[in-house]
Chains A and B, each alone.
Chain A
Amino acid sequence: MVCFFPRETAHSCLSRALLKNSRLSTQPLCAKSMNASRDLYFKTYSSILVMVFFGPLGNVLLGKGMKHIGAVAAQSPKDAIHTLMLIFTSSTIWLGIASLITFFIAYMLVLSWADYSYVQPASSIAYGAAAVLAHLLLKEVISPTRWLGVIIICLGVFFVTGTPPRTTEHPDGA
């Protein structure tokens, strides 16, 4: 028995196998499909987690680094070179760039197998994570509007992640 649907669970595969008394030789195919499905979910969630962590971190580090440098004064070529030197010798800015590169690689990888219409809304959970972390770690006051937004985002992500991460088999949809 072959599981054709990626979201088919172990339980339903097993039930079908038992109920229809399928041949023993075909059971490993079902197990293989279930493993592939489990792998798909695992690597999709892992990549989105990397995106959710490194995307906002990169933005925060870049913002912090630029604020540390201060207002950019580029009235003359000498000023511009001096500002560029400050930017490219700042460890905070390099850490920010490294975080954003990590984010983008994770984004590219997840898009190699998962739907864009799945990844884009699912990664919006970063807004919720940022609000919760800001409240817990930085003791920021989060407005009720923002909390409401976080709850609605979580609900939306719950709906989106309830759908299969991949609905296409061919890159050009052919």
Chain B
Amino acid sequence: MAREVFLFALVVCAGTAGELCVSRAMKTLGEVTNFHPAVLFSVVLRSLRLKWMWFGLALMTTAFFSLLWVLAIANVSLVVPVTAISYVAGTVGGKFFLRERVTRKRWVGVALVTVGVTLVLIGRS
């Protein structure tokens, strides 16, 4: 059981932290205003020079393999609601790590999305 809990925590925390790091890297690069393919290619290359991008990619890879592992040892019906918590974790991370202003309205939306995603995935499995 301790192993499952650890893997669940790793899926949610590493996945969310990875996306937050990618978000931070992109905010550091600045707003993209030109969508020419050459410019987009240059943006991708410049993002790869940022440590936040590499942290993010490493954490997202960790989360992906942890998810594969947890799916192999735990019941899908248990895995799904836990991974849907990522929406709440992401919003908390956005508020404190990226200093985003999360209004009550956005919180209500995030809570509804979390419940909805859980029901969709339960209904499919």
- Which residues of A approach B to under 8 Å, CB–CB? 105, 107-109, 111-113, 115-118, 120-121, 124, 127-128, 131, 142-163, 167-168, 171-173
Contacts and interface: CB of A to CB of B under 8 A. Distances in A.
Interface residues of B, number: 49
B26 A108 contact: yes
Given A116-B98, A127-B120, A168 B113 contact: no
Contact of B44 (A105, A117, A121): A105
Given A105-B44, A156-B110, A120 B87 contact: yes
B109 A156 contact: yes
Contact of B109 (A142, A159, A168): A159
B27 A150 contact: no
B26 A149 contact: no
Contacts of B105: 159-160, 162-163
B20 A116 contact: yes
Contact of B113 (A105, A113, A116, A121): A121
Interface of B: 19-20, 22-24, 26-32, 35, 40, 43-44, 47, 86-87, 90-91, 93-95, 98-103, 105-106, 108-124
A120 to B, nearest CB: 5
A5 to B, nearest CB: 12
Q: Which of the listed residues A131, A145, A154 has the most CB atoms from chain B within 10 Å of its own CB?
A: A145
B123 A149 contact: yes
A33 to B, nearest CB: 15
A153 B112 CA distance: 6
A105 B119 contact: no
Given A124-B87, A146-B124, A163 B109 contact: yes
A108 B27 CA distance: 10
A121 B91 contact: yes
A149 B112 CA distance: 9
Nearest to A160: B109
Nearest to B124: A146
